Amino acid sequence: MRKLVLLLAIVIIFGSCNSKKTQNEEPGKFITVSILPQKTFVEKIAGDDFVVNVLIPPGTSPAAYTLLPSQLEEISKSAIWFRIGYIGFEHSWKDKIAEANTKMKVVDLSEGLDLIAQGTEQHGDHVHPVGVDPHIWLSPILVKEMAKRILDEVSELNPKQSLKYKTNYLEFVKEIDQLNIEIANKLKPFEGRKIVVFHPSLSYFARDYGLLQYSLESGGKEPTPQRMRELIDLSKKENIKVMYIQGELDRDHARVFAEEVGGEIIQVRPLDPAWAENLMEMADIIASKF
């Protein structure tokens, strides 16, 4: 009798695990995103209705990351890929990603946004921006527009839950608006002030809140001695004592800057999945250092 009960228990457990596996691998249940903050945006709207696959893991640089074979397998299951738009990684790997899943829809979340670019180029009857800053997710104003695009796409993937997604989206928009107000109030006394960063990741954040960003690195290239000298001179003139840097970047040049101006290096986390909390913390730090 005990053996029969044990056998039945094993069958039930195996059946349950197999059912969960089948449910998770159901077509249309997988979404791929490039960076962690996008996962946060999708889950704010769709909850846990989708398995969200993040291509660039924590602690790695979006400019130089190489996909693992296991990630290509995850891509092959995805119904949609939400691109940020101008991250170097996306450009380098877009063909391989497309080959991994020819049926996957690709949505560029940067389309239609007010982008920061170095200029434009004419291609036939179209004008394209060049030298685009990719860090659009650090602007609450732009994230609100991105959220609407995500809402439309997940509602199309799962129409039965579209009302729930719309409700979640409206709640997320309220959170974004409140965050924007709080950051704007925090930084309003410092409009027009300058900040120095190693990598130009705060461009959209600075634009939203009236700050002027100066970066040591440009276009992913090694900082030049001339650029270092320019920023040191600027910082001494303006009494700037901080350089903001991402954790995954080499700090040697930043240390030279800090020593020259008698200042400090402060880490920022553009890819933190706790998106709203991270932006508010960043605003607090920047305000406290002026």
Work out the pLDDT band at 16, boundaries 50, 70, 90. Answer: very low
What letters, b where the CB count within 10 A reaches 16 and e where it falls short, cover 133-161? bbbbbbbbebbbbbbebbbebbbebbeee
**What is the mean predicted confidence (pLDDT) over 193-198?**
96
Mean pLDDT of the chain: 88
Contact by Cβ (8 Å): 107, 152: no
Cα-based distances in Å from 203 to 151, 255, 262: 26, 22, 25
User: Looking at residue 19, what is its pLDDT?
Assistant: 42
**Residue 259, pLDDT above cutoff 90:** yes
Q: Which residue has the higher pLDDT, 217 or 15?
A: 217
**What is the mean predicted confidence (pLDDT) over 257-276?**
95
Domain ranges of the chain: 189-289
- The token pair that represents 160 in the structure block: 């039965």
Work out the pLDDT band at 124, boundaries 50, 70, 90. Answer: low
**Residue 282, pLDDT above cutoff 80:** yes
**What is the mean predicted confidence (pLDDT) over 141-149?**
98
Name which of 1, 2, 5, 57 is nearest 271 in CA terms: 57
pLDDT over 90 percentage in the chain: 69
User: Looking at residue 46, what is its pLDDT?
Assistant: 98
Q: What is the pTM of this model?
A: 0.86
User: Looking at residue 115, what is its pLDDT?
Assistant: 96
**Residue 6, pLDDT above cutoff 50:** no
Which fold is adopted by the domain 189-289? Rossmann fold (3.40.50)
User: Looking at residue 24, what is its pLDDT?
Assistant: 45
**Residue 187, pLDDT above cutoff 90:** yes
- 56-75 pLDDT, tens digit per residue, is 988 777 777 888 888 888 89
User: Looking at residue 209, what is its pLDDT?
Assistant: 98
- 89-109 pLDDT, tens digit per residue, is 898 888 899 899 999 999 999
Work out the pLDDT band at 266, boundaries 50, 70, 90. Answer: very high
Work out the pLDDT band at 7, boundaries 50, 70, 90. Answer: very low
**Residue 188, pLDDT above cutoff 70:** yes
User: Looking at residue 23, what is its pLDDT?
Assistant: 42
Work out the pLDDT band at 274, boundaries 50, 70, 90. Answer: very high
Supply the angle between the helices 140-157 and 36-46 in degrees, to the nearest 10. 60
User: Looking at residue 251, what is its pLDDT?
Assistant: 81
SS3 186: helix
Name which of 117, 67, 39, 63 is nearest 248 in CA terms: 63
User: Based on C-alpha coordinates, what's the Rg of the chain?
Assistant: 22
User: Looking at residue 168, what is its pLDDT?
Assistant: 98
Helix count (H) and strand count (E) of the chain? 10, 10
